[in-house]
Structure 1
Amino acid sequence: MHRVKRIAAIVMTVIMLAAAAGTVMANNLNDQLESVQKRMQDQQSRASQAQKQVNSVSGQLKKIQGDLDGATAEYSTIQSKLTYTEEKIEQNTEILAKAETNLTERSKVLNKRMRDIYQNGQVSYLDVLLGASDFTDFTTRMDILKRVVNQDITLITKVKAERELILQKKAELERDRAAIEQLHAAANEKRLAIAARKNEREAVLASAVNERDTAEQAYQELLETSRQIEQLIRNSQSGKGGSTSGTGIMAWPAAGPITSPFGWRTHPIFGTQRFHSGIDIGADYGDIVSAADGGVVIYSDWMGGYGKAIIIDHGGGISTLYAHNSELLVGEGERVRKGQAITRAGSTGYSTGPHLHFEVRENGSPVSPMGYLP
């Protein structure tokens, strides 16, 4: 009996120990689970925060390009003010020179008049009048005296006015010269800002070209942008009627040579294969880029690694894309004709020098432009 009780006690102890161990294990598992969940939440929070803070290569270039465009526009404004002020100085200088010439001539006449009075003595106007022999002579002398007096008054007034004009113009010139110095300083400051932005842009691009990870990121972004373009074009073309202003025969959008063809090419540093969805046409900054065919502009804005870009829908599933521009001359929804100026060539986005990236797409997918160009 005692033996049975001992066995029962042992069993109860084991059960209690097992329950306690289970509780501890459960608590440990719960703690671990909560710890893992907390770490996951922290990681998600960190990833979300990082996603907000991280700028893609395209985002960096867009910001830098915006700052560069702003600095360039301010510099152009300052240059316009500078030109206007310099023209104003030139005009005031001419007026001042003419006024000084007039003052010199009138001063000579006035000085001669003063010398004559000094040498001959001051003649009493009353003596001149009383010396008249008759009334007619009196009237004549009165008229002559009036003319002399008026001439003296006019001469003195003009000399005084010329002197005041000279003083005024000299003061204006001093103000203009001070303004010129300020404008020169402001222009120099903007030039330095532009140079700094260009250096920053070149540094980002150098990183994109020479660092494998950044280059791969840039390439993947371009692929994603290309897919977005494809979807954008398909969405734009869906539901449209058959009306089109395209001729089906395209003209060259720029006059330069092809610097990079359509299709697969090898990365110059890493040796990896890269797909080039269009052709690059050589162009200088500011060169006019023309519409390859008539159509409707369905996109006109910054487009990731493509920089400032335009897409034209020509109808019949055909569209063209023009990228890396410095300036966009037409907006979304505008109908353009073949050969119309639509952009100015540049080097925005993933570009190491000014050129035009030109694409032809059939139903959104890139095809060789050479099949459409003469």
Structure 2
Amino acid sequence: MNTFLHRHKAVLSTLLLLLLAVPTLSQDSASLRSQIRKNRKSIAAVKEKLKEANRREDEIAKKLRVTKRRKDEAEVSLAKTESQLDEAQEKLRKLKMRIRQTSIRLLRAQRALESRLREIYVEGEVSYLAVLLQSDDFTDFLNQADYIKLIVKSDSQLINSVKKNKSDLDVQRKSARETVIELTKLTTQKRETVGRLARLKAAQEDLFHRLKVHQKKLSNRIDALEEISAKKEAQLRAYIQRSSVPGYVPIPRSAGKYIYPVNGPITSYYGYRVHPIRGTTRLHTGLDFGVGYGVPILAADNGVVIHSGWYGGYGNTVIVDHGGGYTTLYAHASSLHVRSGETVRQGQMVSKVGSTGMSTGPHLHFEVRYHGNPINPLSCL
């Protein structure tokens, strides 16, 4: 009779435990499905942003190509104008030199003529008398007198020719100077155009670079969200798989309040801080306990182990699911003493303190997460 009652009590206890656990399993399953749906919406939203960023990148790339082409064309045009300006300036320089030389010739011719006329004026008839006395006969005298007149006439013609030449050169110089002025203005305008296009090109290149960085961030965000979704889906499958296995033991009810996982001082609190390795300011998502190698790490509450192994920068890590969306994480362990799927009780050793992963020395990094988001563990301890 006692054996029969004992067996019935055991069956009733198991049934009671299962009945009490079903809401937790149902709640956790629903919570995971809700998180997965939310995550997928986030992924879709980020993908839309990435699509828009890609569209903007194509748009800026096209504008940048046009600006580069316009700048190249403007630089070619500027080089051509600068070459024309150099030629015009050289032409003007040569014209000025020719005008200077012509002016000297004109001055010399004018002085020679003035000197000859002055001599004729001063000497007057005496000069003709000297010519007469030096002549063989009167015919020779007339010839020599005509010769003097021819010389004077030749000097006058030379002066007129030089004057005309100088006048023509003055006209050419004026035209060349106007050309130089116009080309100088045009060169200045084209240099301003090239400068403006260079600034526009630099601005577009900067925008293009920032879009690339933005795209990279969005891609990384998508990867991170997809990784989270994969983990959540794996957790959901694990829930479903565990619930279908004979002898399945659901997540036990919480013991009430969490206990401290180790007995030691808190060396770094939850909140923003300068990362000890990366050197950047970022959120410290848990508590660091300063304890030595090999110190036992205890489960903060009843739960089921959903991860036991290497976890990136966390090193050797145990994650315990306590139901209701709450999980705890124990990182940087030297050794692990539970396996995934195993049920643990509050105060049970899950691992031992170490310095694996991204760590500067032996300590326990302890986190509490609600629906995957870190919260201050002190609110639960």
Task: Normalising by structure 1, report the TM-score.
Answer: 0.36
| Greater RCO, 1 or 2 (C-alpha within 8 Å, sep 6+) | 2
Task: Normalising by structure 2, report the TM-score.
Answer: 0.35
Q: Highest CA radius of gyration, 1 or 2? A: 2
